[in-house]
């Protein structure tokens, strides 16, 4: 028979508030009770809209001469007639409705995620993160070996990850209807693992390449990782308003990175580089070939030029990091 259509009235939040089955070839929509679908919206005319099939059998909405008119669901222009083939939604007054043709096939069934798949992932990631943290700490512990000393920061870190994931789960619950804590935890732990890897990579390369700036500035990569992490969380909550949310997050993180960079640059300007060897690793992790003493000392020429250049500039003054140890 193929003449069946369904008309859905959506709530202000975009959820389906009511759904009516229409067995007739056309349907009337309006505030009056002689309509097929009655809409309680003061901005809708008593007989506002008629839904008919055109010559090809496709559904079309027609304005019956209302004051406020007919719009596509996201359209800004009033239209007298609206073909509903592509997008089934249309707006009258302040109400959105969708008309579905029963003849159209439904969307294919989505496979059900294995129950607790996220929880299993999160557990695996948690083991990986805690394991790497313990390894990193153990390689750097030079005081008394004590489980307390090693575990306390991990407990604090775990608490932070749980609170962070819980916050996103709450947001997810508010906007998506489902908390999905395990998924949020999985995303957060993936981020942690990435942070750890990045941090260690910077440290080891800075040693292996004798490149101190790498260690100094690797921390800026963390801001990018943080942005990626927030993107993952937002995507899991739902794609609605994603660009706006991401825009806010990127702006926040960019200002954080800018503040960090500015304070680093200020420290560098005031006190310069520190006379340290940076983080050291066992000698077998050296990557670059050693220089001869001549070449190493020749490189000091650049150092001399740098400080001679600095002599010509006015000494730095002012700013929040202003201090002079000799004062």
Partner 1 sequence: MRIAFAALLASAAVLAAAQAPVAPGAPSGPLSSAAEQVYEMAKPRILQVRTLVHAAGRQTTIGSAFVVSADGYAVTNYHVVSRFALDPKTYRLEYLAPDGGKGELRLLAIDVAHDLAVVKLDRAGLPYFEFEPRALEGKLPKGERIYAMGNPLDLGFTIVEGTNNGLVDKSYDERIHFSGAINPGMSGGPVTDSDGRIVGVNVAKRLDGEQVGFLVPARFAAALVQRARAGAPLRVDKAREEVGRQLQAWQAGFYQRLEKEGFRDSTFGGYRGLESAAPWMTCWAATNADQVPKPRVSIDTTRCSSGTGIFVSDRILTGRVDVIYSYHQAIDLNAFQFAHELAQHAAASGIDGGRRLTEQSCSDDFVRDERGARPLLRATWCMRAYREFEGLYNVTLLVATQDREREALLAQLTMQGVSESNALALGRRFLEGIRWAR
Site for partner 1, rule CB under 8 A: 139-144, 210-212, 268-284, 286, 288-293, 295-297, 299-300, 302-304, 306-308, 310-311, 315-317, 324-327
Q: Given the complex with partner 1, which of 114 and 143 has the nearer CB atom?
A: 143
Q: What angle do CA 30, 33, 39 make, to 5 degrees?
A: 40
Q: Given the complex with partner 1, which of 11 and 298 has the nearer CB atom?
A: 298
The pairs formed by 230-238 with CB atoms below 8 angstroms and a separation of 24 or more are 232/187, 232/190, 232/191, 233/168, 233/171, 233/184, 233/187, 233/188, 236/168, 236/172, 236/180, 236/183, 236/184, 236/187, 237/168, 237/171, 237/172, 237/175, 237/176, 238/175, 238/176
Q: Given the complex with partner 1, which of 63 and 203 has the nearer CB atom?
A: 203
Q: Given the complex with partner 1, which of 86 and 320 has the nearer CB atom?
A: 320
Residue 293 C-beta: closest distance to partner 1, Å: 5
Residue 148 C-beta: closest distance to partner 1, Å: 15
Task: Tokens 């490189």: give the residue.
Answer: 299
CA 130 to chain centre: 24
Residue 215 C-beta: closest distance to partner 1, Å: 11
Residue 274 C-beta: closest distance to partner 1, Å: 7
Q: Given the complex with partner 1, which of 11 and 267 has the nearer CB atom?
A: 267
CA 42 to chain centre: 39
Q: Given the complex with partner 1, which of 251 and 297 has the nearer CB atom?
A: 297
Residue 147 C-beta: closest distance to partner 1, Å: 16
Residue 263 C-beta: closest distance to partner 1, Å: 15
Contact between residue 141 and residue 203 where contact means Cβ atoms under 8 Å apart: no
Among candidate residues 1, 4, 2, the one with its CA nearest the CA of residue 99: 4
């Amino acid at each position: 028979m193929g003449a069946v259509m369904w008309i859905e009235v959506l709530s202000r939040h975009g959820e389906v508030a009511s759904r009516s089955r229409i067995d007739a070839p056309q349907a009337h929509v309006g505030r009056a009770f002689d309509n097929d679908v009655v809409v309680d919206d003061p901005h809708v005319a008593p007989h506002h809209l008629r839904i008919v099939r055109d010559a090809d059998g496709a559904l079309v909405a027609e304005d019956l001469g209302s004051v406020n008119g007919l719009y596509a669901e996201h359209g800004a222009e009033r239209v007298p007639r609206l073909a509903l083939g592509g997008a089934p939604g249309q707006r009258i007054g302040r109400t959105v409705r969708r008309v579905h043709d029963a003849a159209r096939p439904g969307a294919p069934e989505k496979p059900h995620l294995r129950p607790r798949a996220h929880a299993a992932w999160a557990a695996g990631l948690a083991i990986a993160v805690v394991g790497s943290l313990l390894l990193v700490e153990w390689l750097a512990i030079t005081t008394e070996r004590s489980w307390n000393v090693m575990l306390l920061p991990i407990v604090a870190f775990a608490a932070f990850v749980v609170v962070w994931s819980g916050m996103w789960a709450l947001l997810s619950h508010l906007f998506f209807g489902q908390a999905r804590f395990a998924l949020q935890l999985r995303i957060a732990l993936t981020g942690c693992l990435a942070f750890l890897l990045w941090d260690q990579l910077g440290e080891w390369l800075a040693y292996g390449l004798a490149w101190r700036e790498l260690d100094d500035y690797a921390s800026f990569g963390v801001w990018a990782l943080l942005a990626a992490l927030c993107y993952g969380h937002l995507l899991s909550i739902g794609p609605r308003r994603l660009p706006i949310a991401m825009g806010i997050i990127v702006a926040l993180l960019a200002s954080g990175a800018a503040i960090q960079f500015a304070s680093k640059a200020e420290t560098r300007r005031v006190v310069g580089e520190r006379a340290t060897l940076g983080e050291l690793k066992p000698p077998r992790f050296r990557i670059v070939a050693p220089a001869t003493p001549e070449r190493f000392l020749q490189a000091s020429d650049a150092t001399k030029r740098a400080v001679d250049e600095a002599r010509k500039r006015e000494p730095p003054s002012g700013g929040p990091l202003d201090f002079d140890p000799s004062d």
